[in-house]
């Protein structure tokens, strides 16, 4: 019996994500938490769907009881709480607000469901995941196998945008492309050379077309932010992606499914094989993760990457360590 919680469940991602989670028969309890009271109505609405999950809504309260009720005994917690971008902003511009939100929610998890799988969607993911890790470390409950930054939207975009680039727009679901690095601009590295099935060699021969495709995947979030023109960032495609990753975790952890591999931004610092394949001692990085009963079962190294992908990796490594340090310092050296 899987108990799941969505923190930030009344938001643009939270509502459709909660609806999708309600359709997963493996979930028997679905707890929706937010700072805004309408989350109770969202839970009431979703509770009428004729699937097994018993759904409840919980509002943030000064005494912490709302969060406690949402989290106690939870097996998996998905966090899309926080503010989204507006045009002209970077994900890092969200740090000042979202860092504190993720810190407080992680403290609640450490207290009420320290063994839960934690899936962080709130941006900037490159920093919010290290923040959660530091909170868990301080509370003595950090388990690197259970903490995930959700980068599935980059994977989803890679398939869709690659299919479009090769003029096969109806084939988006045919391509599986690992995406490594982080979740922001140049830190996002789609390994198109490792696509299964392989993308046509003509794409790799046309350097301009290849670079345009990579850029489109890296900055796919901007396309949505600009199109929504101040109305937020990706919500529906993110709900789809978040649900897909949550289902992958649930199927491997609770339903005994084997061979489930999905890229995710995870703690890699203790894994020499991985840091060697990245070429840098780095604490967090998105790599293909084999999922299992304890969460991360095995991290997969980067494998063969093309010279162009090596350049992308160098650019990623210029930016990502700073974002990780920023998150770590937010917890270790709080401003007075």
Ligand X SMILES: NC(=O)c1ccc[n+]([C@@H]2O[C@H](COP(=O)([O-])OP(=O)(O)OC[C@H]3O[C@@H](n4cnc5c(N)ncnc54)[C@H](O)[C@@H]3O)[C@@H](O)[C@H]2O)c1
Ligand Y SMILES: O=C(O)C[C@H](O)C(=O)O
Point out which residues pair with 265 in neighbouring strands: 149, 286
CA dist., res. 211 & res. 90, Å (int)? 21
Q: Helix 307-332 and helix 125-138: axis angle, to 10°? A: 40
Which of ligand X, ligand Y, none interacts with 225 (beta carbon under 5 to 8 A by kind)? ligand Y
Under the binding rule (CB under 6 A), the answer on residue 80 touching ligand X is yes
Which of ligand Y, ligand X, none interacts with 190 (beta carbon under 5 to 8 A by kind)? none
Which of ligand Y, ligand X, none interacts with 224 (beta carbon under 5 to 8 A by kind)? ligand Y
- Of 103, 92, 90, the closest CA to residue 129 belongs to 103
Under the binding rule (CB under 6 A), the answer on residue 238 touching ligand X is yes
Residue nearest to ligand X (CB): 11
The answer to whether 48 is a known catalytic residue is no
Q: Which of 58, 112, 183, 186 is catalytic?
A: 183
Q: Which residues contact 44 (CB under 8 A, 6 or more apart)?
A: 57
Q: Which of 57, 82, 181, 220 binds ligand X (CB under 6 A)?
A: 82
Between 84 and 263, name the residue whose CB sits nearer to ligand Y.
84
Map residues 40-79 to x or -, x wherever contact with ligand X holds by CB under 6 A: --------------------x-------------------
CB 329 within 8 A of CB 103: no
Between 128 and 162, name the residue whose CB sits nearer to ligand X.
128
CB 27 within 8 A of CB 250: yes
Between 8 and 221, name the residue whose CB sits nearer to ligand Y.
221
Which tokens belong to 55? 């759904």
CA atoms within 13 A on the CB side of 122: 33
The annotated binding site is made up of: 8-14, 34, 85, 91, 98, 121-123, 157, 238
Point out which residues pair with 290 in neighbouring strands: 261, 298
CA dist., res. 217 & res. 184, Å (int)? 10
Point out which residues pair with 196 in neighbouring strands: 176
- Judged by DSSP in three states, 292 sits in strand
Which of ligand Y, ligand X, none interacts with 122 (beta carbon under 5 to 8 A by kind)? ligand X
Map residues 175-214 to x or -, x wherever contact with ligand X holds by CB under 6 A: --------x-------------------------------
- Judged by DSSP in three states, 262 sits in strand
Q: Give the footprint of ligand X on this chain (CB under 6 A).
A: 7-8, 10-14, 33-36, 60, 80-85, 94, 98, 101, 104-105, 121-123, 125, 150, 153, 183, 232-235, 238
Active-site annotation, residues: 183
């Amino acid at each position: 019996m899987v108990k799941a919680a969505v923190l930030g469940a009344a938001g643009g991602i939270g509502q459709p994500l909660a609806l999708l989670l309600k359709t997963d028969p493996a979930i028997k309890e679905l707890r929706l938490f937010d700072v805004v009271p309408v989350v109770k109505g969202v839970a009431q609405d979703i509770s009428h769907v004729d699937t097994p999950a018993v759904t409840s809504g919980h509002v943030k309260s000064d005494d912490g009881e709302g969060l406690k009720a949402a989290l106690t005994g939870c097996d998996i917690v998905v966090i899309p709480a926080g503010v989204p971008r507006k045009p002209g902003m970077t994900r890092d511009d969200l740090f000042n607000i979202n860092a504190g939100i993720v810190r407080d929610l992680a403290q609640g998890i450490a207290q009420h469901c320290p063994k839960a799988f934690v899936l962080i969607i709130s941006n900037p993911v490159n920093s919010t995941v290290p923040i959660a890790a530091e909170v868990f470390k301080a509370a003595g409950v950090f388990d690197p196998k259970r903490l995930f930054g959700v980068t599935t939207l980059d994977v989803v975009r890679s398939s869709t945008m690659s299919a479009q680039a090769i003029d096969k727009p109806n084939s988006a679901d045919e391509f599986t492309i690992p995406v490594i690095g982080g979740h922001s601009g140049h830190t996002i590295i789609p390994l198109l050379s490792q696509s299964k099935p392989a993308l046509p060699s003509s794409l790799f021969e046309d350097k301009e077309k290849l670079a345009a495709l990579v850029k489109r995947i890296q900055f796919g979030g901007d396309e949505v932010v600009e199109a929504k023109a101040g109305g937020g960032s990706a919500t529906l495609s993110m709900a789809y992606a978040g649900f897909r990753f949550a289902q992958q975790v649930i199927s491997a952890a609770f339903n005994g499914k084997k061979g489930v591999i999905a890229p995710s931004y995870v703690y890699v610092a203790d894994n020499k094989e991985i840091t060697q394949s990245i070429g840098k001692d780095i604490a967090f990085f998105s790599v293909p993760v084999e999922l299992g009963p304890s969460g991360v079962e095995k991290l997969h190294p980067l494998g063969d990457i093309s010279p162009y992908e090596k350049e992308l990796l160098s650019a990623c490594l210029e930016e990502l360590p700073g974002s990780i340090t920023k998150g770590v310092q937010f917890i270790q050296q709080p401003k007075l």
